[in-house]
Structures are given as C-alpha cells and as structure tokens.
Amino acid sequence: MGRKFFVGGNWKCNGTTEEVKKIVSTLNSGEVPSEDVVEVVVSPPFVFLPLVKTTLRPDFHVAAQNCWVKKGGAFTGEVSAEMLLNLDIHWVILGHSERRAILGESNEFVGDKVAYALSQGLKVIACIGETLEQREAGSTVEVVAAQTKAIAARISDWSNVVLAYEPVWAIGTGKVATPAQAQEVHYELRKWLKENVSPQVADSTRIIYGGSVNGANSKELAGQADVDGFLVGGASLKPEFIDILKSAEVKKST
Ligand SMILES: O=C(CO)COP(=O)(O)O
C-alpha cells in the first residue's frame, strides 16, 4: 500500500521564543525512525515560523496552522499561501475543529481554502471530525463524509493532502478514541474516498488520527490498519512527541 507514516505536531496558540527554542532543541536531539519510515511536520504559530524553519533539523518539515482562502491583499490579520511559500514553508493545517467551531469556518470555506492552498503548491493537512452530540446521535460517518465531500468537490489531485480525523470530543480532553473507534471511522473514510473519488486515492491518501494522542497510547493506535499516523496537540510540546514518532516502527513490522 505504501502510505508513509505521518506525524504532525500542532502547537496551537502556545509558546514564547524561549519555549520554542527549547522544543526545537529537544526535537533536534531526538532519536527517531528515519525519513523513510515517518514523515514529521511541526506546526508552530505564524510568528515563530521563521525561527523554527531556520533552526529545526532538516528532516522535519514545518507547517502553518492556517492560511487565507485566496491571494493576499486587503485582508487584515490574514496570512496568505504565497507568504508561506516565500518563507519556504510547504505545509499548512486547514479546517481544524477549533477554527470551524470558534471562528465559524464552514465545510465550504474549508474546501475553498484547501483548493486554493493546493493550487499554489502547498501540501495540506485537512482536518475533519464530529462533536460528541453528533457521535451520540449516530451521525459520525455522515458528518465526516460531508466535511470530506466539501473538499473533494473542489480538488482533483489528492497527492498533497493528508486527511486528519480528529473527533472533537477527544481533542484536549484526555479522552482518546479507542483504537477500534479510530479504525472504524478511518475505514469508513477510506471507503468513502474509494466510492466517491477513486480506489487509487483511497489507497494512497494518508488518514491520520488526532485527539489526546500521547506516548502511552500511540503504539496501539498505530497498529490499526487504516491509521496512517497522528496529528498531536498537547503532547507535541513535550519530549514525549519523540515517543509518538517511534510508534511508526509498529507500522514497519505489520
Ligand atoms: O487538536 C489536536 C491536534 O490538531 C489534538 O489536540 P490534543 O492532542 O491536545 O488532544
């Protein structure tokens, strides 16, 4: 199948210059599986992108946590895809649930952002996931399919997309999805891609899990057939991020 394990570290709105330097130093000295085994992308806040980009080990990549929906211009407070590329940043996280819920980003707006970022040559970690109410109402698959559909309707090439399934109820709560719960949704998402995009895209697109991933639970989650990696929040600010990267070894032996 050849889907390389992928681990993103989403630092969210955290860090001072000193703290960022410390995290980078921990990452730089960490012993991790080789680039052939795991693709690593860390995502600091915009203001720290140049610092991280210039000091982080070259085998780790850097992502922004968001970008504007189209070409830059008179859009106060926004950062464009072109600016990221100008800083040699090649990845961006789009559609994170915190932006969907707190900043009101709709499925369509996220789809437009993904399409524009890809069109400019960025690689995208596109986030989807259901709330607790939606899960309890039995509509998890319907919700993530609608979120994926809004992206699929606007793009034709999936080779630069990583799909991050992040159930909202598991984000920052310490309530990680069980390996079976994660696998079930990842399986359904791959099936959706197969039926609605193409078998080739279903087979090659990385579907990663996010929500309370840590050094203690990552190995078991990584062992699931359709879990191709993680998007890590809180634990990506700590040395245990290195342990999470090591869970890629599980995949190598399956
Ligand atoms: O939102 C997340 C990553 O994007 C997950 O956050 P936590 O790992 O802190 O639950």
Residue 1 is predicted with a pLDDT of 52
CATH label of the domain that carries residue 63? 3.20.20.70
Q: Convert the pLDDT of each residue in 4-54 to its tens digit.
A: 999 999 999 999 999 999 999 999 999 999 999 999 999 999 999 999 999
Which residues span the domain enclosing 207?
5-252
Residue 209 is predicted with a pLDDT of 98
Residue 199: exposure state from Cβ atoms within 10 A (0-12, 13-18, ≥19):
exposed
Q: Convert the pLDDT of each residue in 177-208 to its tens digit.
A: 999 999 999 999 999 999 999 999 999 999 99
Can you tell me which atom of ligand 1 is nearest the CA of 96? 4
Can you tell me which atom of ligand 1 is nearest the CA of 234? 9
CA 93 to centroid of ligand 1, rounded, Å: 12
Residue 2 is predicted with a pLDDT of 86
Intra-chain end-to-end CA distance of the chain, in Å: 12
Ligand 1 contacts CB of residue 167 (under 6 A): no
CA 69 to centroid of ligand 1, rounded, Å: 23
Residue 12 is predicted with a pLDDT of 98
Q: How many domains does the chain have?
A: 1
Q: Convert the pLDDT of each residue in 75-91 to its tens digit.
A: 999 999 999 999 999 99
Residue 251 is predicted with a pLDDT of 82
Selecting among 96, 98, 105, 186, the annotated active-site residue is 96
130 catalytic per annotation:
no
Q: Convert the pLDDT of each residue in 93-133 to its tens digit.
A: 999 999 999 999 999 999 999 999 999 999 999 999 999 99
Ligand 1 contacts CB of residue 172 (under 6 A): yes
Ligand 1 contacts CB of residue 10 (under 6 A): yes
Residue 189 is predicted with a pLDDT of 98
Residue 32 is predicted with a pLDDT of 96
Selecting among 39, 98, 105, 166, the annotated active-site residue is 166
ipTM of predicted assembly, 2 dp: 0.99
Q: How far apart are CA 231 and CA 229, in angstroms?
A: 7
Residue 253 is predicted with a pLDDT of 65
As given in the structure block, the two tokens for residue 144 are 């993530």
4 secondary structure, DSSP code:
-
Q: What's the whole-number mean pLDDT along residues 222-230?
A: 98
Give every CB contact of residue 205 below 8 A, 6+ residues apart in sequence: 3, 158, 161, 162, 163, 190, 193
Give every CB contact of residue 86 below 8 A, 6+ residues apart in sequence: none
Helix (H, G, I), strand (E, B), or coil: what is residue 178?
coil
Q: Residues of the chain with pLDDT > 90: what percent?
A: 98
Ligand 1 contacts CB of residue 171 (under 6 A): yes
CA 242 to centroid of ligand 1, rounded, Å: 16
CA 137 to centroid of ligand 1, rounded, Å: 23
Residue 254 is predicted with a pLDDT of 58
Give which of 127, 119, 67, 63 is closest to 95, Cα–Cα: 127
186 catalytic per annotation:
no
More confident: 252 or 210: 210
Give which of 86, 2, 84 is closest to 43, Cα–Cα: 84
